[in-house]
Amino acid sequence: MIATRRSPLALWQAGHVKARLEALHAGLRVELLPLSTRGDELAGVSLAAAGGKGVFVMELEAALADGRAALAVHSMKDLPVELPAGYRIAAITAREDPRDAFVSARHAGLGALPGGSAVGTSSLRRQAQIAARHPGLEVRPLRGNVETRLAKLDRGEYAAIVLAAAGLKRLGLEGRIRSFLSPEECLPAPGQGALGIECLAARGEVAALAAPLADADASACVRAERQVNRALGGSCTIPLAAYAERAGGELRLRALVASPDGRQVARAESAGDPELPEALGERVAQLLRGRGADRILAALRP
């Protein structure tokens, strides 16, 4: 049994993992356990006010703990960097497109929007980077599943919205994308585009079933990205971006921390051994600290 959120995207992701597991293991039958999470129920408030990214996973982890499910499937960008004791990530799957996507009925990109246009996003990370590059735009909060966000755009509540490209592609909605935001324009969130398969640490036999779905490159990249967040305090509600890529025999990692208004941005990058992704993430986090990240983060604390 796979625990999953009830949103169409989450169900697609869990169904994808189910199909791959059944194809890999002859005779294995997998079912889905759709659950409502606190994050889904509080779609009208900001992620920070709802309690951070953990609000999307607690109910799924409870289903693992009480035996209703053996696995849980998450978007890695929604998974807190510290798992509760007794849980583990059994596999990080091959990564879908990690970029952000610009969606609008009338405009081709952020640079084509008239001054004062309303741009919707659920992410402080996107908000900060859009504000830094396009200070004349009005960035407004946008919560809800992909379909809800698109409906708000179609009703004219926003001139454009910015979503993860991976979700739109997985739902067959790539045609709604007017343009992609390159990492240079909007650096992705740690883990964006990758799926994580979680199980209880004690369930070695379950982890072994999921292990063949792991992708070595995606795992190294995501582990490096998540370590930047972990090293800077592990908060899931700060404007932080981190994106790693394999470049020849090295892992290249870029990251930033920004104030929500985009007026302060600390950037850093480095390259390192793909076999030591956490060491690379730690190094980039230290570079960010030397470029003002601690000052930016201190100003965000209550």
Give a yes or no: residue 130 inside a domain.
yes
Residue 39 pLDDT more than 60?
Answer: no
Per the structure, the count of domains in the chain is 3
Percentage of the chain exceeding pLDDT 70: 94
| Residue 195 φ/ψ, nearest 5 degrees | -105, 140
Domain assignment present for residue 222? The answer is no
In angstroms, the CA 67 to CA 127 distance is 39
- Does residue 42 carry a pLDDT above 80? no
> Residue 223 domain-assigned?
no
pLDDT digits (tens, 9 = 90+) for 196-234: 999 999 999 999 999 999 999 999 999 999 999 999 987
Q: CA torsion, points 32, 45, 120, 186, in degrees to nearest 10?
A: -70
Q: Quick one: 109 and 72 in the same domain?
A: no
Is residue 267 located within the same domain as residue 155?
A: no
140: domain CATH number?
A: 3.40.190.10
Q: What is the mean pLDDT of residues 87-94?
A: 97
Question: Residues 108, 145: one domain?
Answer: yes
Residues 62-87: tens digit of each pLDDT: 999 999 999 999 999 989 999 999 99
In this structure, the answer to whether residues 170 and 237 fall within a common structural domain is no
What 3-state class would DSSP assign to 146? helix
Q: Answer with the one of 160, 181, 202 that is the final residue of a domain.
A: 181
Gap between the Cα atoms of 127 and 241, Å rounded: 11
The mean pLDDT of the chain is 92
Where in the sequence is the domain holding 280, given as residue range(s)?
A: 228-300
Residues 174 and 112 grouped into a single domain: yes
Asked if pLDDT for residue 235 goes beyond 80, the answer is no
Please report which confidence band the pLDDT of residue 38 belongs to, taking 50, 70 and 90 as the band edges. Answer: low
Angle in degrees, CA 129, 124, 39, rounded to 5: 150
> Do 201 and 75 sit in the same domain of this protein?
yes
Asked if residue 26 belongs to a domain, the reply is yes
> Do 153 and 270 share a domain, yes or no?
no
Q: Say what the alpha-carbon torsion angle 199, 283, 55, 182 is, to the nearest 10 degrees.
A: -100
* CA distance linking residue 218 with residue 215, whole number of Å: 5
Q: Let me know if 78 is a catalytic residue.
A: yes
Task: Please state the rounded mean pLDDT for residues 177-185.
Answer: 96
Task: Clarify whether residues 170 and 88 are in a common domain.
Answer: no
Q: Do 119 and 236 have their domain in common?
A: no
Residues 242 and 205 grouped into a single domain: no
The domain that holds 249 is classified in CATH as 3.30.160.40
Residue in 78, 99, 98 with CA at minimum distance from that of residue 89: 78
Q: Are residues 245 and 122 in the same domain?
A: no
Radius of gyration of the chain (CA): 19
Catalytic one among 40, 66, 78, 261?
78
Residues 78 and 210 occupy one common structural domain: yes
Average pLDDT over residues 98-126: 96
Between these two residues, 25 and 36, which has the higher pLDDT value? 25
